[in-house]
A = this chain, B = another copy of it.
Amino acid sequence: VKKRACQLGFVLLEERFDSYFFRAVLVEGLAMAAFLYNVITVIAYNDDGQLVGIDSDKQLLIALVFGLSIFMLVYFTAGLSGGNLNPAVTFSLVIGKRISVARGICYIASQMVGAIVGTAFALVIAGSDKFNAVNGGANILAVGVSAGQALFAEILSTAMVCLAVIIGLSSELWHLMEKTGMDILLPIAVGTAIVLAHMVLIPIDGCSVNPARSFGAAVISGEWADMWIFWVGPLIGGLVAILLWELILRPPQEVSRSAH
C-alpha cells in the first residue's frame, strides 16, 4: 500500500511516563555533559580565542573533537533516548511528530542542564585563566561578520545536521537502507554533519548549530551577547529540515513500520 500523508504537526502527550521515559531524559543530559566536557576543555587548552584567521590545524582539531564526540555519544544513546543531543534536532523531530511535545520539552531542559554541568567540569579542569582566555568557549560573532551572515550560515548548517537524523530515522528509506546496510551509517553521518558545520562556522561565530551547547557555555562564562542568533538560527534550521523532508523530499510510504 502506497500512501503519502504529511506528518507535520504536534503530538502533545502521547507518552507512557515510565522508567524508560525518565531514563531517556536523564541520558540526554548525561550525554550533553560529556559533550561539553570534551569540547570546552579542548578549546580552553588549545585555542587562543581567535575566530577569523584561526590556524587550519587548530580548526581541524576543534571540528573533529565536536564531530567525534557527537558520533560516539549518538552511538551510546541511540538505543536509550534516540540520541538527539541538540534542541534543534529535538524541535525538528517534534514538528515531524516523531516524538511528543512533552518528551521534547523534557529532552531540551535536560540538554540545557547537562550542558551547564559539562562546561563547569571544563572550567574546573582547565582553571579559570585558560577558561576565561577563550571566553569559556562561548559562541560570539567574529569581527567583521554581520548577524545576518551568521544567522544564514547557522540555518543552513543546522538543517544538514537535522536532515542526517531525519533521513536516518525515515521509515520510507528503511527498506532500502536495511537491504544495503546503510542504516548503520547514521551515527557517522550525524557526526560528519557536525564536523562540516564546524569547518564552515568556526571562523564566523565559533559554530553553534546546537542552542544547548551555546547556552551552557554562556551560563558559565557570562558571555550572552548574540545569544539570540544561536537559538533562532538552529531552530529555524531544524524547521527547514523537517519541512524540506515532509513537503518535498519524502517518498510515498511503502512499508508500514513505526519510525524508530
Contact = CB atoms under 8 A, between A and B. Distances in A.
Contacts of A176: 78-79
B204 A125 contact: yes
Contact residue range for chain A? 35 or more
Interface stretch (A5-13, A103-111, A193-201): A193-201
Contacts of A183: 180-181
Interface in A175-194: 176-177, 180-189, 192-193
A132 to B, nearest CB: 15
Nearest to A80: B249
- Scoring A56, A59, A65, A189 by chain B CB atoms within 10 A of each residue's CB, the highest score goes to A56
A55 B52 contact: no
A228 interface: no
A26 to B, nearest CB: 7
Contacts of A46: 56, 59, 203
Interface stretch (A92-100, A156-164, A215-223, A231-239): A156-164
A26 B60 contact: no
Interface string A60-93: 1100110011011001101110000000000000
B72 A189 contact: yes
Label chain A's interface by main secondary structure. Answer: helix
A153 interface: yes
Given A76-B163, A80-B251, A127-B149, 20 more contacts: A30-B244, A37-B200, A45-B204, A56-B58, A56-B60, A56-B61, A57-B60, A60-B60, A64-B195, A72-B196, A75-B164, A75-B182, A76-B164, A125-B152, A180-B183, A181-B183, A182-B186, A182-B187, A184-B184, A185-B188
Interface of A: 20, 23, 26-27, 30, 34, 37-38, 41-42, 45-46, 52, 55-61, 64-65, 68-69, 71-72, 75-76, 78-80, 121, 124-127, 144, 149, 152-153, 156, 160, 163-164, 167, 173, 176-177, 180-189, 192-193, 195-196, 199-200, 203-204, 244, 248-249, 251
15 contacts: A41-B200, A42-B199, A45-B204, A55-B57, A59-B61, A64-B195, A64-B199, A69-B196, A72-B160, A75-B164, A75-B189, A78-B180, A80-B249, A125-B204, A180-B184
